[in-house]
Amino acid sequence: MKNSIEKINPLIVNTELSTRLMIAEHLKNYKGPVLFTRIKDYPGWRVIGNVHTSRDVFADTLRIPPGELLKALAEAMNRPVEYTVVEHASFLRNELDQPDVIEHLPLMMYYPEKERYYASATIFLARDPDTGRQNASFHRMMYLEKNRFAVRLVARDLFDFYKRNQQKGKDTEVIVICGVDPAIALAAATSYPNLNELELASAFLKGGLECIKINGIDVPVDSEVVMIGKILRDEVAEEGPFVDVTGTWDTIRKEPVFEVDKIYYQDNPIWQVILPGWTEHRLLMGITQEPRILNIVRNAVPSVQDVFLTPGGAGWLHAVVSIRQRHEGEGKNAGIAALAAHPSLKRVVVVDDDIDVRDQESVEWALATRLKPDEGITFVKGARTSSLDSSNAGTGVGTKWIVDATIPLNRDRRDFEKVM
């Protein structure tokens, strides 16, 4: 990760701060990257947060103008690139066996409720037990004791690996990394079928990713911290409370236990954190869904132009899609396809290509001047919804809606365009 520090140009904080609430409070007060150089009780460690609070960070990583980010992400997802496997990694110089983790790693307390310590920027690496395909995905970890964490496993690839291993009576062998290049973080935040996310990261880095093989799993050599261990097949623990991407409290659940066997770390290590429920959390979760939505909507409406998950929708629940309409009904088709592409979506607004999907005022203007509510709004009742949508009272079922604010093709477009 150290190679990317100069590029993101963080604010340097040299005051000694505790991992107990103090670092989290500082992160809330800054919009950009912050590097803390003196961590109470953890001499020699530094902590970095707010790394990915702007789309510009990812555009810089891909070496493209910010306006081309969505297109570049969509193309990379369809054209992953193999990475190089090497024989050495500098993190192997420092090793801890069977560690009491909190004595060595600066785990964070973000909120005072129940005094929980978390690792929030941790990426799990694992292989499909049947096909061998490698997966990389973010999962928060709540510290339990000694070398044990409760891990929030959402119902995606790693959860599927875990369930299949569990059925075979096996633990799930994993490697957890923390402190990575933004390209790896961006790739690990992606959910896309049959993808090795490290190959996506390699595509972002123009083939420049290097990994070392440990226990059959490929690990990026520049990772600051590497934890070797297993998700236990037959043990769960309460996980939470935790503030999720919507800024509300997530449900306390019984989650699998991760047991750490060994930790490796770089010289002068940097521990990376993601402030839960804030800008970085929302951006990492949402930005990688936009190209997925774009790719899938394109199958239904080839003239789709842009996709944006809105800040007001927590970067997760509300989207705006723009199309260059050719046939009546394409606005509704685009909305249906977007809901299918990202099942957590609650609302999709579809607009014409002259509307800037990232400009809330422009989108509201389209709603005010082009939408006939009795014709343009479609409700989809009884749909499976996001677990993060608290309006559904934990049932997981609710109503989604499509708002078609496109210009009717049987009307003169000039009547709907801004003169100035």
400 to 21, 24, 305: CA distances (angstroms): 37, 34, 23
Q: Are 226 and 264 in contact (CB under 8 A)?
A: yes
Q: Which residues pair with 197 in a beta bridge?
A: none
DSSP for 230-254 reads EEEEEEEEEE---B-TTSSBPPPEE
Measured distance CA(346)–CA(387) in Å, rounded: 11
- Other beta carbons within 10 Å of 129: 16
Look up residue 87 and give its DSSP letter: S
Catalytic residues: 244
Q: Which residues pair with 134 in a beta bridge?
A: 127
Q: Which residues pair with 390 in a beta bridge?
A: none
Strand extents, DSSP E, 75-200: 84-86, 94-97, 118-119, 123-127, 134-138, 141-145, 148-151, 172-178
Q: At what angle do helices 55-62 and 279-287 cross, to 10 degrees?
A: 50
Can you read off the two tokens belonging to residue 232?
A: 């236990």
Measured distance CA(288)–CA(189) in Å, rounded: 6
Helix (H/G/I), strand (E/B), else coil: 159: helix
CA 122 to chain centre: 11
